[in-house]
Amino acid sequence: MTVATVTAPDVVQLMPSTSKSASTTLRSLYPRAARAFLHRDICLTHSLVTTAFALLTMAPTAHDALHEQRRKWEILRITLEVTVYATPPEDSAAIPAPLRSNAMQSGPSLITSQHKRSLELFTPASALKPDASFLPAPVLVTLAAASVRVHAPDVGRLMVEEWLARRDQTLYGTIDQGEDGYEKVIDVYCTNVLPALDEWEYAAEFLQYESELGRSSKEVRLYLFRIRTRTS
């Protein structure tokens, strides 16, 4: 890979030639990016995210050496974009142009474009088209929660339901979702997305008839859901 230089508050020069060196660079940059985001340093966070994605291209295989870094950085990128969109800094001139341009989009349009980008990022090059089954559960959860934040829960619902349908109907299957990933998707679907659509009854019904969660896990979720329903 050629040299990637980002002109921003902190200039970062990268010259990785292998997945191993790229992974090392990405691991070293991520704590800085996370700290910058927590301190609301939008420019630095955006600079580091841009630098990271100069290395994180489309997945060559379903679970390549950069998969974990791709997942972490995509979550940070989505979170940064949605945070700036929903609660922009008072000084709009200080917002990097790519983030500032997002303000021209509607909430549904922003989430839809983010979802499309994530599908393209995680679907292996060998697949015929972007496939929701390859989208890591934590990325989907981030997108679904973001859809509620920008008042586009209907888009979040479609994303989750597509993922749930594809995880059982594809030859590839979900690679690294695991039980925990599935449970988190169900949680955000039933406690964030559906309630935002006033689909309280359907959410309770979905939880009741869901067949993959353990009995005790389901009972706890139904109990908490009923409490939330009474207080909402």
Calpha distance 230→168 (Å, rounded): 34
The pLDDT score that the predictor gives to residue 221 is 80
193-205 mean pLDDT: 91
Residues 202-222 pLDDT 10s: 988 898 888 888 888 788 888
Looking at the predicted structure, is the pLDDT value of residue 95 above 80? yes
Give the pLDDT of residue 63.
Answer: 75
Residue 115 lies in a domain: yes
Q: Give me the pLDDT at residue 60, please.
A: 77
Q: According to the model, what pLDDT value does residue 172 have?
A: 44
The per-residue pLDDT for 9 is 47
Domain count, the chain: 1
Token reading at 2: 């050629």
Q: Contact 167/133 with Cβ under 8 angstroms?
A: yes
- Per the domain annotation, does 222 fall within a domain? yes
Does residue 188 belong to any structural domain of this protein? Answer: yes
* Mean pLDDT across the chain: 85
More confident residue, 181 or 168: 181
Q: Provide the residue range defining the domain that includes 120.
A: 106-231
**DSSP secondary structure letter of residue 205:** H
Specify if 49 maps to a domain.
no
- State the amino acid at position 85 in one-letter form: Y
In a domain, 128, yes or no: yes
What would the two tokens of residue 131 be?
Answer: 């496939």
Give me the amino acid identity at 127. A
The answer to whether position 27 is within a domain reads: no
105 or 220, which is more confident = 105
Which residues are paired to 4 by β-bridges? 14
- Whether this prediction's pTM lies above 0.75 is answered by yes
DSSP single-letter state for residue 56: -
In this structure, is residue 59 part of a structural domain? no
Quickly state the pLDDT bin for 5 (edges 50, 70, 90).
very low
Highest mean pLDDT among 103-117, 170-184, 189-203: 103-117
